[in-house]
Structure 1
């Protein structure tokens, strides 16, 4: 048997598996964070996000992170403003936040698209979430990213 075949197979498996690695998801861990056009405080602020806003890391450059958000928008954020927190963001124009995990529970409040929450607990397809202002309730997983 050719001795190079196992080496080539191992090489192919490593690189084929690399595409299967899940992108790292981080969350904003400060009240308001500036999103910049480049990896420097001298670069323009292109928008701001609030606490618990989830982001998918695209690449790191020094102490800066290029990310993509739930709408596919990209920007740069300093890594000191991020944490590994389980968070979600509302994808629908309107979303009911309920008193318990199920549509038979009362609606506590309704939120708009783009409102982020920290996940406290999961029960099936329902998420017990809390907003940075302290409001909490349950949201169906299909309504968030």
Structure 2
């Protein structure tokens, strides 16, 4: 692997490494496909008796869970938002009279909304910390947190494609397009695709254009 100049850019107090030029040499071996299991034929019927073949329905019935909607916004719950400013007080209840349990201090931090009441939203971060925060402190701009250290960003949603950057654990980035397995992120001039499992702030089955 040959690398060009590596630029270290701060991302909301956390860093993301952006490589000007990266190339990947070699290719990962592809695991051999396994042959589907064969079904043994039913045993032959005994002489003088009629064989009876039991037919079992192996089809799966997929149950679709209705999407829960917030009583105030009628938007899905839970859902992801981000912190609008540089500070957000999370309170024990949905009013200014409740004590502050947690303070968010990273601009753009992704948060999960789990409940609504009037002008208040109950949120939590990637570690499950949070509380009730006023809706004016939240933004609908989608951002994510990188959950693996020095994870490679690729030019395409393919692990064999060119590596365009590397992100550190905890880096906050803007969320772009997503398919079922990969998402595109951007932060401080660096962008690329990485596996969805390396991010917090996006649902496993979420697809974005």
Interval of TM-score (by shorter of Structure 1 and Structure 2): 0.5 to 0.7
Q: Distance in 2 between matches of 1:112 and 1:41?
A: 38
CA apart distance, 1:80: 1.5
Q: Which of these residues, 83, 97, 106, is aligned with residue 49 of structure 1?
A: 106
Q: Which of these residues, 83, 87, 105, is aligned with residue 33 of structure 1?
A: 87
CA apart distance, 1:42: 9.3
Aligned twin of 2:78: 24
Over residues 26-73 of structure 1, what are the superposed CA-to-partner deviations in whole Å (9 max), with x where a residue is unaligned?
32253523243455399656331221x322223334423221122111
Aligned twin of 2:198: 143
Question: How much is the aligned-residue C-alpha RMSD, in angstroms?
Answer: 3.0
- SS of equivalent to 2:106: strand
Q: Distance in 2 between matches of 1:29 and 1:46?
A: 11
Which entry has the higher C-alpha Rg, 1 or 2? 2
- SS of equivalent to 1:104: coil
So what's the TM-score if we normalise by structure 1?
0.65
> Which sections of structure 1, spanning at least 5 residues, go unmatched?
1-16
Q: Which of these residues, 128, 134, 144, is aligned with residue 72 of structure 1?
A: 128
- Assess, with a 3 A threshold, how the Cα gap between structure 1 residues 99 and 34 changes in structure 2: closer, same or farther: same
More strand per residue: 1 or 2? Answer: 1
Contact 2:88 2:137 in 1 (8 A): no
Q: Distance in 2 between matches of 1:65 and 1:141?
A: 26
> Which sections of structure 2, spanning at least 5 residues, go unmatched?
1-64, 69-75, 201-209
So what's the TM-score if we normalise by structure 2?
0.48
Q: Distance in 1 between matches of 2:191 and 2:138?
A: 22
- SS of equivalent to 1:80: helix
